[in-house]
Amino acid sequence: MVQVLEFADVDVVRGRKEILKSLSWDVAEGERWVVLGPNGAGKTTLLQLAATRMHPTRGTVSVFEEQLGKVDVFELRPLIGLSSAALTTHIREDERVLNVVLTAAYGMTGRWREEYEKLDERRAFRLLHEWGMSTMMNRTFGSLSEGERKRVQIARALMTDPELLLLDEPGAGLDLAGREDLVKRLTQLAKDPASPTLVLVTHHLEEIPPGFTHALMIREGEVVAAGPLGEVMNEENLSKTFDTKLRLMQTEGRFMAVAAE
Ligand SMILES: Nc1ncnc2c1ncn2[C@@H]1O[C@H](COP(=O)(O)OP(=O)(O)OP(=O)(O)O)[C@@H](O)[C@H]1O
C-alpha cells in the first residue's frame, strides 16, 4: 500500500513562532482523515505542507513517498486536489462556473488541444453534475452563494482526478441546510472506494461525514491524538484539544460536543 503522507518530526517556524512542533503523522492510501483543532492550532499549515506548497523548517515530509526538498513538487501537484478559502481569492468573480472547474486541467494537460478540450469539458460537466451545480454552470462565480461556491471549489479540486484531496474547512460560512448538504455529499465521496485519499480540516465535530476513518487532533502545533476515529474520538482527547471540558455525543454516525457541566 502506498504511503500518501509521512510527516516525521516536523517543525515549522516563522520568526519566533513555532507553528508545528515535532509533528509526526502518517496517512495511507484510501484513508479518510479529519484534522481537528482550535483556531491557530496549525491545521492550515499542515495542509500547506501536504499540498507541497510549503517546506518544513526541520524534519521531513514525504508525499507519495517522495521527500519534499528532494523532488520536483510540480510533478506531485497534479496528484493533489486542494480546496481552501485562500485559493478562492484567486478565482475571478466574473469567471464562468464551468471555466472555474475546467481551468484546473490546464496545469495537467499543458497544451490546450481540442481532444483534451472535449475530454476535459466532459469531466467538468460530470463533476458539476455530481456536486449539484450543472444548472448553474453558465453563471459567474461571483453570483453564487457561499454553499454553491464551496461545491464548485471541490469540483475544481477533483478536476485533475487527484489521488489525494485536501479540504480546508469546506463547511465554513455555510448555513445549517448548506452544511448538511455538504456533509451528505462528502459522505458519498468518503464511502466510494474509487475516491482519492481524503483529508478534511474542520473545527466542528458536526462536519465530520460518516465514512471518515481516522482523526488527527492538534493543539498549539502538537499532536494530541491520531489514529482510527473509533479509538481517538473521545471526551478526553477532545477536551485536551480544545482546552475545554467537553461532553461528546454520537448519533447515526455523526458527532457533536457541548461543554460539560
Ligand atoms: N508566516 C507566519 N508568521 C508568523 N506566524 C504565523 C505565520 N503563519 C501562520 N502563523 C501563526 O501560526 C498559527 C497557526 O496558523 P494556522 O493558520 O496553520 O492555524 P489553523 O489551525 O489553520 O487556524 P484557524 O483554524 O484559525 O484557521 C497561528 O497562530 C498563526 O497566526
Ligand 1 atom with the shortest distance to the CA of 38:
25
Domain that holds residue 224: 3-259
The predicted-structure confidence for 125-168, as pLDDT tens digits, reads as follows 999 999 999 899 899 999 998 889 989 999 999 998 999 999 99
Rounded Cα gap, residues 50 and 7, in angstroms: 9
Indicate the top mutation candidate among 7, 14, 17, 202 to test ligand 1's pocket, ranked by most ligand atoms within 8 A of CB. 17
Our answer on whether the CB atom of 39 is closer than 6 Å to any ligand 1 atom is yes
pLDDT at 116: 60
Count of domains for the chain: 1
Cell numbers 448553474 correspond to 136
pLDDT of residue 109: 40
Q: Is 70 in the pocket of ligand 1 (CB under 6 A)?
A: no
Beta carbon of 13 within 6 Å of any ligand 1 atom: no
Q: In whole angstroms, how far apart are CA 234 and each of 64, 248, 257?
A: 30, 7, 10
Three cell numbers written together for 73: 513538487
Q: Quick one: what percent of the chain has pLDDT higher than 70?
A: 96
Residue in the block written with cell 504511503: 3
The response to whether residue 15 sits with its C-beta less than 6 Å from ligand 1 reads yes
pLDDT at 111 over 60: no
pTM to 2 decimals? 0.92
**b or e along 42-54 (b: 16 or more beta carbons within 10 Å of the residue's beta carbon)?**
bbbbbbbbbbbbb
Q: How many CB atoms lie within 10 A of CB 60?
A: 16
Output the nine-digit C-alpha cell for 24: 509526526
Q: Convert the pLDDT of each residue in 15-48 to its tens digit.
A: 999 999 999 999 999 999 999 999 999 999 999 9
| 157 within 8 A of 83, measured Cβ to Cβ | yes
Rounded distance between C-alpha atoms, residue 103 and residue 41, angstroms? 33
Q: Give yes or no for residue 14 CB within 6 A of ligand 1.
A: yes
What CATH code is carried by the domain that includes residue 200? Answer: 3.40.50.300
Cα of 171 to ligand 1 centre, how many Å? 19
Q: Per-residue pLDDT tens for 56-68?
A: 999 999 999 999 9
Q: Report the candidate in 236, 249, 242 with the shortest Cα–Cα distance to residue 208.
A: 249
ipTM: 0.94
